[in-house]
Amino acid sequence: MKKIIIAIDGHSSTGKSTLAKQLAASLNYIHVDSGAMYRAVTLFGLKEGLISETHFDVNALISAVQTLQMEFKTNENQTTALFLNGSEVSSEIRSMTVSNFVSQVAAIPEIRIRLVEAQRQMGAKKGIVMDGRDIGTVVFPNAELKIFMTASAETRAKRRFEELFKNGQHVDYDAVLANIKSRDFKDSTRKKSPLKQAKDALVLDNSALTQSEQFDLVLGWINAKCQE
């Protein structure tokens, strides 16, 4: 079966990365979580004092991102993880602090240009599943399969709340819901590469789907595309 590019876009906390990981493992494809890359840049900015509640040194962050080293590879638990400058940051980048700033970082044109360049290099040989906000519209506009994932804000907030709680982060549900709605607005209205559904994308509303049902549905879409 021929290898293709699978581009998965959609709102935050719709389970894009979970689905992408499942598909990549099943198809023996490479999985790239583009959103994690923006989170890694945000984490770097926070740690280096370039980002805070009262300070945002955009120029310094733009300069720093040119030399940041990001790599997706298998960690000691045999799962795909993101390494930033040699250190795994998969858990750190999922904190609420990073979530509160990542949309601002992702809206910076120079940072998007740098990361899109890196993402295109990762998909040059196809056989890749990439998820994010602008994969089917900007990064890979010619991808063979484009999926746009969505679910109600309340459903996504509940999932995100449970994920954070499971990871030992005790947060308020209303704060998580407010963050989800805020990110939706910022992602959809930013000037550079806003979140939007590609005209030829298949819509996947998983509000009432189990992960198993969702996986089987998308696998059917992939098989059809690979046989065209």
Q: Which amino acid is at 146?
A: K
DSSP 11-41: STTS-HHHHHHHHHHHHT-EEEEHHHHHHHH
Q: Measured between alpha carbons, how far is 190 from 101 in angstroms, rounded to an integer? A: 14
Confidence of residue 88 (pLDDT cuts 50, 70, 90): very high
DSSP-based three-state secondary structure for 75: coil
DSSP string, 53-64: SS-B-HHHHHHH
* Res 9: pLDDT: 96
Q: Residues 157-173: what's their mean pLDDT? A: 90
User: How far is it, in rounded angstroms, from Cα 66 to Cα 27?
Assistant: 32
Cross-strand partners of 152: none
Structure confidence at residue 173 as a pLDDT band (50, 70, 90): very high
What strands, in cross-sheet order, belong to the sheet with 145-150? 30-33, 128-132, 5-10, 145-150, 202-205
Average pLDDT score over the chain? 93
Q: What is the mean pLDDT of residues 84-98?
A: 94
CA distance 9 to 17: 10
> Of 31-45, 63-77, 93-107, which gets the smallest average pLDDT?
63-77
pLDDT digits (tens, 9 = 90+) for 52-83: 999 999 999 999 999 999 988 877 776 778 99
Q: What is the mean pLDDT of residues 90-106?
A: 93
Over residues 128-135, the mean pLDDT reads 92
**Are the C-beta atoms of 139 and 7 separated by less than 8 Å?**
yes
Mean pLDDT over residues 24-35, rounded?
A: 90
Domains of the chain: 5-223 (3.40.50.300)
Beta bridge partners of 84: 70, 87
Percent of the chain at pLDDT > 70 equals: 100
The average pLDDT across 103-111 equals: 93
CB 157 within 8 A of CB 176: yes
User: Binning pLDDT at 50, 70 and 90, where does residue 1 land?
Assistant: confident
Looking at residue 68, what is its pLDDT? 95
